[in-house]
Structure formats: structure tokens, C-alpha cells
Amino acid sequence: MIKKIKKFCKENKKSFLYFSFSIISITLITLPIIYFSIKKDKTDELNSQNEDFKFLSDKDVFPDVDSREYYDLIEIKNNKPIISDNMLTFFISDIIKRLGVSYGDIKFNYNYINDQNVLVEFIWIDNEQKISKNYNLNIEDNI
């Protein structure tokens, strides 16, 4: 078999050289084109991923609240307005429903200062970003 190839190469030396030159030329032309098109696609993909990721502020994540939205939930105990557990539960669930993002983890903590003052802290966590917001629920006696 090798003898036949050698014989073919000797007889058709010119044809073999043209064929070899053609293959090498095509390869030298197509390889850079393929390389740069793949590199461009990867660069475009990285740029689009960077555009999708942005750091958020607390205004992007947590809603603004209006005290009038929760006025009906104030309870009266011993002729004194108080923040009940029902009002606090409603407030926390309302904030979570109204979050400005639909991803990440949310944690909250609350501290009853007294019957008329409650401090509620929310923490939103996603990947490398952590945002917190405090809400101070208070009722004044002269309402």
C-alpha cells in the first residue's frame, strides 16, 4: 500500500503539490475566521451577563409605606391605641408581597419597644449583595 502511495506521489508530484498547497491555504484562511468568531461570541456573552447584573439599593428592593394603609388595623386596648400581633403580621406579609424583586432570600426581625412602637428590620440577600431596611411602626396617643 505504501509503495502505491509513493508511486502515485512520484508520478503526480505536481498534482500532489497543488492539492497540498490548496489544503494548507484553506486551513490558514478558515482557522483565524473560526477563532475570532468564537472569541467574539464569548465576549458578547460576557458583556450581556455583566449588563444583567447590577447592584440594587434599598429603594429598588423594599417598598415605601404609607401609615394610612395600616390605620384600620390599629386596635384599642384600655382606651389606648396599640400595635397588635395581627397588625404586625399583616405589615410583614404586606412588605414581603410588595418587594421590588422576585429573587433572593428575605429575613426579618422585629422588636416590640412598647405597645405603640415596634421596630421591624428586613434583610434581603442575593449572591454577594445584602440590603437591609428598617421600618419603625409607632402610634401616638393624640390620634
**91-138 residue pLDDT tens:** 999 999 999 998 999 999 999 999 999 999 999 999 889 999 999 999
**51-64 residue pLDDT tens:** 555 788 889 999 99
pLDDT at position 52 is: 53
Residue 73: DSSP 8-state: G
pLDDT at position 86 is: 92
Residue 123: Cβ within 10 Å count: 14
CA distance 74 to 88: 10
Of 69 and 143, the one with more pLDDT:
69
pTM: 0.61
Domain ranges within the chain, ordered by starting residue = 2-52, 58-138
